[in-house]
Structure 1
Amino acid sequence: MNLVAWNCRQAFRKKVERLQPFAPQLAVISECESLEKLRGSQEPLFSHALWFGDNLNKGLGVFSSGDIPLTVHPAYDDRYRWVVPIRVAGPEPFTLLAVWTKDHRERRQSYVGQLFLALQQYQELLEKETCLIAGDFNSNAIWDSHPRVGNHTAVVEMLRGYGLESAYHRFFQERQGEESVPTYYFHHSKEKGYHIDYAFLPERWMARVEAVTVGTYEEWRAWSDHVPVVVRLKEGGKQPALRRSRNSCRQSEK
């Protein structure tokens, strides 16, 4: 399974074909326009689509290929913008928590605060089901001191308690807050890069990770201020050796 998490910075209908080289079977697309506005432009690549948002030009889209149907989990609580549990069917069913955190009228609940509160809300789901979490968290450990109801490190520790680890950090053996490769460039500036997009997988799946790649600034700057995070997984039961080539994710080199 190839999983892609990307904040496309709107107008996904004009950019969806950029994902084709990744052969994505599951994609979490932040700042995606509604399905009505996409008008089927995603269909050459994806057979199933869900969308969540209160702005038709800028929401959270989740897409999958033909043999992986998607349905909204009955536990979904739309108070948390946007952290959405989705049942992913297919040969190996699991629950995806798709993420694009937003600001909130109560500042302390903004961004990582939304994710922290949502994880508390979905505690039973996380305890009982096989879960993946992917998307734009808008958070990093370097901002832990910002006044929120929870911070990035608290979220990472909470997820670890449910047996979930960041695919990027495990694959490249980097610490949270010390990432060498950004996923977001503030104001499109290469000098202001931050790692804020993630894919957390079950610990027992880590040996199945064949590759983790992060798009380059040069390749993606014309399309978004974020670059895609791509995780390639072997099918269940196969245990490949990890390949830690960084050839496709060196945009942080000076």
Structure 2
Amino acid sequence: MKIITWNCNMAFRKKAAAILAHAPDVLVVPECEHPSRLSFPEGVPPYTDALWFGSNASKGLGIFSYGSFRLKKIRSHNPDLKLIAPITVYGGGFDFTLFAVWANNPEDPDGTYVEQVWKALHHYNKRINRKQTVLAGDFNSNTIWDRKYRVGNHSHVVEKLAKKKIQSVYHLHHNQLHGAELHPTQYMYRHKDKPYHLDYCFVSKDLADKIVSVEVGEFDNWCRYSDHVPLIVHFNIDKA
């Protein structure tokens, strides 16, 4: 099973072929247009299911499944937590709960980015389980921006998830520390000299034990498409 998250920097319809060449089973795409605006070139693999969240039809949070995997929005979704979407993924031989993330809510006076994730961890506390749980997407955060006396910074998010034995697959697989990542996932303004690690896939221990590989895209391969590169996670799970 392969889960990929990639902030496409809008116009996903023009860029889908590049990411679908990596054959995701579940694909999380921040800054994606509404599915009604998607028209793919011939040869682009069709998705099985699609969910979309947002208020701007040109720039929201898209989630796509392929093959036998299906998607269903969980009823407890809180639209005030923009844009963090709880989804049941099923039908592919391994069912799990996915929290798709694009942490971006400029209307919230408490904080635009990681604060959204922090609030979601509390709102969905009972849904975020020690098993069969994935949080993936653009968190727009990193420990390097922690504000020491601000509750709900990136390190607080990491620590709260760790208490449920949920960890970042990149940091686990590559033995990295938060705030000292060797592989950036975003290059501000597509400048190679402005790298940051902002995109994550956190998983419960049952999934962490099945990690085969965790790949971060290379700048030179992806800068023509987006200021972000994909995070590609392969698990040793048989698909239906």
TM-score between both structures, scaled by the size of structure 1: 0.88
Q: Does 1:37 align with 2:43?
A: no
Q: Deviating runs (4+, > 4 A) in structure 1?
A: 40-43, 146-149
Structure number with the bigger relative contact order (C-alpha 8 A, sep ≥ 6) is 2
Which of 210, 213, 222 is residue 211 of structure 1 equivalent to?
A: 213
Q: Distance in 2 between matches of 1:103 and 1:74?
A: 21
Deviation of 1:154 (Å): 0.4
2:59 paired residue number: 58
Q: Distance in 1 between matches of 2:128 and 2:209?
A: 21
Deviation of 1:104 (Å): 2.8
Q: Could you say what secondary structure the match of 2:110 adopts?
A: helix
Which of 118, 122, 132 is residue 134 of structure 2 equivalent to?
A: 132
Kindly report the root-mean-square deviation, in angstroms, between the aligned alpha carbons of the 2 structures.
Answer: 1.8
Q: Distance in 1 between matches of 2:222 and 2:100?
A: 22
- Equivalent pairs: percent with the same residue? 39
Give the residue type in structure 2 aligned to 1:170. L
CA deviations over 1:61-117 (Å, ceiling 9, x no partner): 000013111000111111101010000012211100000011333443210001100
Deviates more, 1:223-232 or 1:199-208: 199-208
Q: Could you say what secondary structure the match of 1:99 adopts?
A: strand
Q: Distance in 2 between matches of 1:57 and 1:204?
A: 36
- Structure 1: stretches of 5+ with no match in the other structure: 237-254
- Structure 2: stretches of 5+ with no match in the other structure: none
Q: Distance in 2 between matches of 1:94 and 1:18?
A: 26
Q: Distance in 2 between matches of 1:181 and 1:200?
A: 16
Q: Distance in 2 between matches of 1:218 and 1:129?
A: 36
1:116 paired residue number: 118
Q: Distance in 2 between matches of 1:2 and 1:94?
A: 13
Q: Distance in 2 between matches of 1:179 and 1:106?
A: 29
Deviation of 1:129 (Å): 6.0
Q: Distance in 2 between matches of 1:148 and 1:138?
A: 16
Q: Distance in 1 between matches of 2:125 and 2:146?
A: 22
Q: State whether residues 137 and 199 of structure 2, in contact with CA within 8 Å, keep that contact through their aligned partners in structure 1.
A: yes
Count of paired positions: 236
TM-score between both structures, scaled by the size of structure 2: 0.93
CA deviations over 1:220-252 (Å, ceiling 9, x no partner): 11100000000000116xxxxxxxxxxxxxxxx
Q: State whether residues 83 and 101 of structure 2, in contact with CA within 8 Å, keep that contact through their aligned partners in structure 1.
A: yes
